[in-house]
Amino acid sequence: MFAGRRIVLGVTGGIAAYKAVEVCRRLVDAGAHVSPIMTKGASHFIGETTLSALASEPVQTSLWDEASPIPHTRLGQGADLIVVAPATARLLSDYAAGRSSDLLMATLLATRAPVVVCPAMHTEMWEHPAVQDNLATLRARGVHIVEPESGRLAGGDLGHGRLADPASIVAAAAAALTLPDLAGLRVLVTAGGTREPIDPVRFIGNRSSGKQGTAIARAALRRGADVTLITTAPVPALPGLEVVSVATAAELRTAVHDRAPSSDVVVMAAAVADFRPVSVAVDKIKKAGGVPEIRLEPTEDILAELGAAKVPGQTLVGFAAETTDVAANAQDKLARKGADLLVANDVGAPATGFEHDTNAVTIFSAAGVVDSVELASKDLVADRVLDSVVSHRLVSSGSLNPQFPTK
């Protein structure tokens, strides 16, 4: 998403300026070239050396400090995205009025790139009609506003106006750079490994962390979809993402069947247990009682049920975590389950599958291999899976010749 993208990070004079350091680090780690601009006020809260060390080039602070006589033009025209975090009430006023008061404002006026503005201020300032009018003006011009959160403010106050979490800011930046090709679609994603209880303490489970399914949900949200994530794993809150927490295969099955009929795309990335104990002990099983006998029964095949009950126009995506004969097993599962696409990976290969932040997958359709993704971040894999979903839907609707990819 961010690889090779040039992002200008503007930092203004608010106490939340320290959070811009984490935003910068996350963007650089994701592959972006970050050009930081600090206002004079920002220097009262963080040092230039900090951002210069973490960003892709030294901090710029003035229209007159560098060899180029027009740094705002260089930065504004070269940017793929501008992020301002934090954005003070003054910045919002200057931007709405078009007042070129410093390097950051001149750069904002000299760009045609998307802009993400992240306000942070005390509650009284945030709620002031002048501030809200300025925000309305910026929204009407297409500026992306990341709303502040409620929480502890400077001086110990509690209220609305706290800068959004760095993860939410980076997610908003990614969304601003993403083509909304899933806009208007309802996407249902499952993630994580189910836990089938043996007693109140122990369970039968697997090593799935839920990272790949969660990455797909985030990517679908960036691409404009209305997203529900049914998961067994903890998930950081993201604006617009509906999260349904479950634990067992039965709970997941109920949650999926409640929502699948109204979903345009269903991505079954969860690792669902194939078996569960026939009976669950009421109390913890003690070692003193000897080795227990645990009888198992099969769980319901949720993917196959979805395949049999698929509604017209719906796209169903399954996952196959394999250790041998990956291609053959994946194609067999695709046919048996009635899925439209199947994402297969070799979880025994280095740095792939469970618990890793990277993955390598092959995506199959009934016609064969649709895409093959070498070892990459799970975020990149998520976008490639959704690329295949978009292509499949275009082909199915007759809008695209099957031999031509969408991207």
* pLDDT band at residue 400 using 50, 70 and 90 as cut-offs: low
Q: What is the pTM of this model?
A: 0.72
Phi and psi based region of residue 4 (left: phi greater than 0; alpha: psi -120 to 50; beta: remaining): left
Instruction: Spell out the alpha helix ranges (H) of 177-268.
Output: 211-222, 249-259
Phi, psi (5° rounding) for residue 335?
Answer: -70, -40
Q: Judge whether 6-176 and 186-397 match in fold.
A: yes
What is the arithmetic mean of pLDDT over 261-269? 98
The top-scoring range by mean pLDDT among 11-15, 68-72, 146-150, 178-182 is 11-15
Decide: 25 and 15 in contact? Cβ < 8 Å.
Answer: no
Distance CA 171, CA 89 (A): 23
Superfamily in which the 6-176 domain is placed by CATH? Flavin prenyltransferase-like (3.40.50.1950)
Per-residue pLDDT reduced to its tens digit, 169-214: 998 998 899 888 999 999 999 999 999 999 999 999 998 999 999 9
pLDDT at 402 exceeding the cut of 60: no
Assess contact for 360 and 376: CB atoms under 8 A.
Answer: yes
Catalytic residues: 206
Cα gap 182→153, rounded to integer Å: 37
pLDDT tens for each residue of 339-356: 999 999 988 888 887 888
Instruction: Quick: pLDDT tens for 70-89.
Output: 889 989 999 999 999 999 99
Return the half-sphere exposure (C-beta side, CA atoms, 13 A cut-off) of residue 225: 28
Q: Which helix (H) or strand (E) element contains residue 36?
A: strand 33-38
Q: Where are the domains of the chain?
A: 6-176, 186-397
Fold observed for domain 186-397? Rossmann fold (3.40.50)
- pLDDT grade, residue 66 (50/70/90)? low
In whole angstroms, what separates CA 248 from the centre of its chain? 24
d(CA 206, CA 354): 9
Confidence of residue 403 (pLDDT cuts 50, 70, 90): very low
Q: Which of 52, 55, 54, 108 is nearest to 81 (CA)?
A: 108
Mean predicted lDDT score pLDDT of the chain: 92
Has residue 404 got a pLDDT over 60?
no
**Cα separation, 167 vs 172, whole angstroms:** 9
